[in-house]
């Protein structure tokens, strides 16, 4: 018993394989979404977020990215157990239908304060290349055009703009899709992560 049918997974994975990215609206069930929103509010209230850094040397470069993150831990963050199970199912389906060898994941909550952005980049670093699939779910309850903070995706033949709408998931190939977060005028929330080729700890040690 999975979260989604084989047909549904196949449709998403086909789109990902063909266009290098896929947008999935209403990704979480209502229950899972409200658990995640509650968790996000709680961690923000506890002031658990840290200024995000870049690359394995963990430099903080505000001119490149302005978000604050809170890394999840599946052992500690038991309130998110269903979410971790859904990610495990995603990995199983991608391995089966996309012939990937994914074996782990890493996710963080991300908060972009007003007037921040993340300049054009790839999610694989030269020093560390085990991020295969980038996986973002937006948590902005009443985003409207003009709020900014859209995801801009660079393709061979142009660019696409994705609005960071509540419960919208975006998956893309980490090595192949340059992207950026446009200037946001309002606080911008997401759950962002990567499906990994090697276990996280190995990636870290080898990096
Ligand atoms: C990232 C990133 C995009 C987004 O965290 O690496 O590119 O839309 N995020 O939040
Ligand atoms: Mn990125």
Instruction: State the pLDDT at residue 201.
Output: 53
pLDDT for residue 53 is more than 90: no
Instruction: State the pLDDT at residue 203.
Output: 42
Mean pLDDT calculated for residue range 186-198: 95
- Sheet hosting strand 151-155, strand order edge to edge: 118-121, 179-181, 151-155, 158-162
Listed in sequence order, the residues at least 6 apart from 157 whose beta carbon sits closer than 8 Å to its beta carbon are none
Best of 181, 184, 188, 195 to mutate for ligand 1, by most ligand atoms within 8 A of CB? 181
Alpha-helical (H) ranges within 46-169 are 81-98
Ligand 1 atom 8: residue of nearest CA: 151
- Kindly give the distance from the C-alpha atom of residue 138 to the centroid of ligand 1, in angstroms, as a whole number: 10
Task: Tell me the percentage of the chain whose pLDDT exceeds 90.
Answer: 84
Q: Which residue has the higher pLDDT, 57 or 196?
A: 196
Per-residue pLDDT of 30-41, as tens digits, reads: 999 999 999 999
- Kindly give the distance from the C-alpha atom of residue 167 to the centroid of ligand 2, in angstroms, as a whole number: 18
Instruction: State the pLDDT at residue 206.
Output: 41
Please choose, from the candidates 129, 132, 101, the residue with its C-alpha nearest in 3D space to the C-alpha of residue 207.
129
pLDDT for residue 107 is more than 60: yes
Report the C-alpha gap between 43 and 45 in whole angstroms. 5
Per-residue pLDDT of 60-74, as tens digits, reads: 676 889 999 999 999
Report the C-alpha gap between 207 and 198 in whole angstroms. 11
Q: What is the pTM of this model?
A: 0.92
80 lines ligand 1 (CB under 6 A): no
- In the three-class reduction of DSSP (H, G, I as helix; E, B as strand; rest coil), residue 138 is classed as strand
108 lines ligand 1 (CB under 6 A): no
153 lines ligand 1 (CB under 6 A): no
Instruction: State the pLDDT at residue 19.
Output: 93
Distances (CA, A) of 146 to 104, 125, 143, 169, 184: 37, 32, 9, 20, 9
Q: Which residues surround ligand 2, an ion (CB under 5 A)?
A: 123
Mean pLDDT calculated for residue range 176-205: 85
Which ligand number lies closest to the CA of residue 192? 1
Instruction: State the pLDDT at residue 205.
Output: 43
pLDDT for residue 204 is more than 60: no
Report the C-alpha gap between 88 and 3 in whole angstroms. 11
Per-residue pLDDT of 135-175, as tens digits, reads: 999 999 999 999 999 999 999 999 999 999 999 999 999 99
């Amino acid at each position: 018993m999975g979260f989604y049918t084989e047909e549904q997974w196949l449709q998403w994975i086909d789109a990902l394989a063909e266009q290098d990215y896929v947008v999935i609206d209403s990704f979480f069930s209502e229950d899972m979404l409200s658990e995640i929103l509650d968790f996000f509010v709680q961690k923000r209230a506890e002031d658990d977020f840290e200024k995000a850094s870049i690359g394995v040397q963990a430099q903080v470069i505000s001119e490149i990215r302005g978000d604050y993150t809170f890394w999840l831990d599946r052992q500690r963050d038991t309130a998110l157990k269903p979410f971790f199970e859904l990610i495990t199912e995603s990995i199983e389906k991608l391995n089966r239908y996309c012939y990937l060898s994914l074996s782990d994941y890493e996710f963080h909550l991300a908060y972009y304060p007003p007037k921040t952005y993340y300049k054009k980049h790839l999610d694989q670093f030269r020093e560390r290349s085990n991020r295969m699939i980038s996986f973002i779910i937006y948590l902005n309850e009443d985003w409207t055009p003009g709020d900014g903070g859209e995801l801009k995706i660079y393709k061979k033949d142009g660019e696409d703009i994705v609005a960071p709408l509540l419960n919208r998931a975006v998956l893309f190939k980490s090595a192949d899709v340059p992207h950026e977060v446009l200037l946001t005028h309002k606080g911008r929330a997401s759950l962002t992560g990567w499906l990994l080729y090697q276990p996280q700890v190995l990636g870290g040690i080898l990096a």
